[in-house]
């Protein structure tokens, strides 16, 4: 069963249609990379999956459960905040900006969710947070505050914070776009490691090398629609749609 199933998902902001008939399945253990020009709907799709935005059309199922609604007497009733928060725990989301609590150390940032949301004992949450910091190569920064960390280190703490909630699906929204070029590699290395452990990942990225190396499938979006889906080799080496060929040509030209 797919960990994520989207069927004809639509989302509008006033007259602007951000998502149009978006349908996609993501299987457990899969790494799916979303690529496309700015404004193509990639981030909006992730925000709808994480229920930061409510969809206007279609349906989303996360881990087999209809997202955002419950069925009552043959109809659908929108979930309240508590129900949405419960469903949101299935997914972990890593944003472009790191969104760490500035008044908390790296360790406390990671402990916050497990202690206050999952109600884990502080000692248990601390031990798990230290394990995750070690996993992302930052055990020595446990007592550092976000302002004392580089952008790459902050993003790695943000990844560890999401993992502390034991999500079944990790959502990455251009996690390296706010980083200086020399810091990109350290974040991508953590994501590569996650992929090798079987974590299901949906990644919005402009890092085509990462998509080629780590992705099981690549999804190209443009103007709110999914235009083409395939393996990294199919998408990068034999694109079928002109819009995808133009996009790849522009990205590769900029990279040169």
Residue 237's closest CA among 256, 218, 222, 214?
Answer: 218
Tens-digit pLDDT profile for residues 145-175: 999 999 999 999 999 999 999 999 999 999 9
The 10s digit of each residue's pLDDT in 23-82 is 999 999 999 999 999 999 999 999 999 999 999 999 999 999 999 888 887 778 888 888
pLDDT at residue 116 greater than cutoff 80: yes
Residue 76's pLDDT is 80
CB neighbours (10 Å) of residue 90? 20
Number of other residues whose CB lies within 10 A of the CB of residue 233: 10
Q: What pLDDT sits at residue 80? A: 87
Q: What is the mean pLDDT of the chain?
A: 93
pTM score of the predicted model: 0.93
Which residue from 227, 256, 232 is spatially nearest to 242, judged by alpha carbons? 227
């Amino acid at each position: 069963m797919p960990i994520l199933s989207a069927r004809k998902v639509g989302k509008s902001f006033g007259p602007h249609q951000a998502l149009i008939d978006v349908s996609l399945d993501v299987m457990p253990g899969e790494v799916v990379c979303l690529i496309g020009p700015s404004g193509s709907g990639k981030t909006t799709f992730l925000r709808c999956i994480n229920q930061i935005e409510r969809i206007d059309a279609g349906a989303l199922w996360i881990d087999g459960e209809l997202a955002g609604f419950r069925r009552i007497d043959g109809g659908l009733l929108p979930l309240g905040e508590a129900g949405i928060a419960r469903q949101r725990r299935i997914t972990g989301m890593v944003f472009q900006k790191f969104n760490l609590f500035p008044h908390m150390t790296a360790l406390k940032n990671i402990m916050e969710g497990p202690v206050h949301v999952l109600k884990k004992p502080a000692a248990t949450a601390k031990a798990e947070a230290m394990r995750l910091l070690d996993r992302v190569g930052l055990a020595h920064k446990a007592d550092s505050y976000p302002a004392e960390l580089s952008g790459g280190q902050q993003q790695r703490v943000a990844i560890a914070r999401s993992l502390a909630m034991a999500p079944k699906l990790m959502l990455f929204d251009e996690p390296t776009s706010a980083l200086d070029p020399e810091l990109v590699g350290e974040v991508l290395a953590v994501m590569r490691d996650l992929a090798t452990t079987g974590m299901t990942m949906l990644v919005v990225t402009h890092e085509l090398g990462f998509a080629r190396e780590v992705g099981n499938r690549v999804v190209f979006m443009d103007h709110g629609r999914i235009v083409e889906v395939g393996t990294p080799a199919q998408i990068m080496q034999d694109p079928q749609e002109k819009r995808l060929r133009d996009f790849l040509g522009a990205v590769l030209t900029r990279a040169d």
